[in-house]
Amino acid sequence: GGDAEYEREVLPEEKPAPGSRSTGTACRSARTRGISRMVVRSKMRYSAHAAVEWINFRTEYRASLADAIDQHVVLVAITEHVRNGSGPLEALFRSALLEVPREHGVRGQDLALYIRVEVPTTHWTGHNLT
């Protein structure tokens, strides 16, 4: 592979709605949302990002900024479905990942999602390590 120049641009942090599931205990990087871009072999590529709880979603990099924006809209809707829902978190994620893309006219596999789980150290140790 060639050398890649990486830049990250994200939208401002959103505040959770009152009574919704908060990302307050999540790791800082897990709360990143927006569109990032990466230059590979002089070509710009874009990826959508969104996060809820300890789960960070990212789509694969695409050549089209418009596609990345459309994917970001779907990812934000997925995270809002989880934040505003009630019930077991696993069931909320399952329904969000199955229903929301369909509501937006997108097949789930077309998002080509990468999912990362980040558990803060305070969950295990009871305090920050820094």
Which residue is listed with tokens 């929301």?
Answer: 100
With respect to residue 130, please indicate whether it lies within any of the assigned structural domains. Answer: no
State how many domains the chain has.
1
54 found inside a domain: yes
- Amino acid (1-letter code) at residue 83: R
- Answer yes or no: is 127 within a domain: no
* β-pair partners for 40: 4, 43
Other C-beta atoms closer than 10 Å to the C-beta of 94 total 11
Per-residue confidence (pLDDT) for residue 121, from 0 to 100 = 81
The answer to whether the pTM exceeds 0.75 is no
Q: Which domain holds residue 43?
A: 4-11+23-120
* CA–CA distance, 92 with 13 (Å, rounded to integer): 22
For residues 108 and 102, give the distance between their C-alpha atoms in angstroms, rounded to a whole number: 7
Structure confidence at residue 45 (pLDDT): 95
Model pLDDT for residues 50-72, shown as the tens digit of each residue: 999 889 999 999 999 999 999 99
User: Is residue 35 one of the residues assigned to a domain?
Assistant: yes
Residue 48: pLDDT band with limits 50, 70, 90: very high
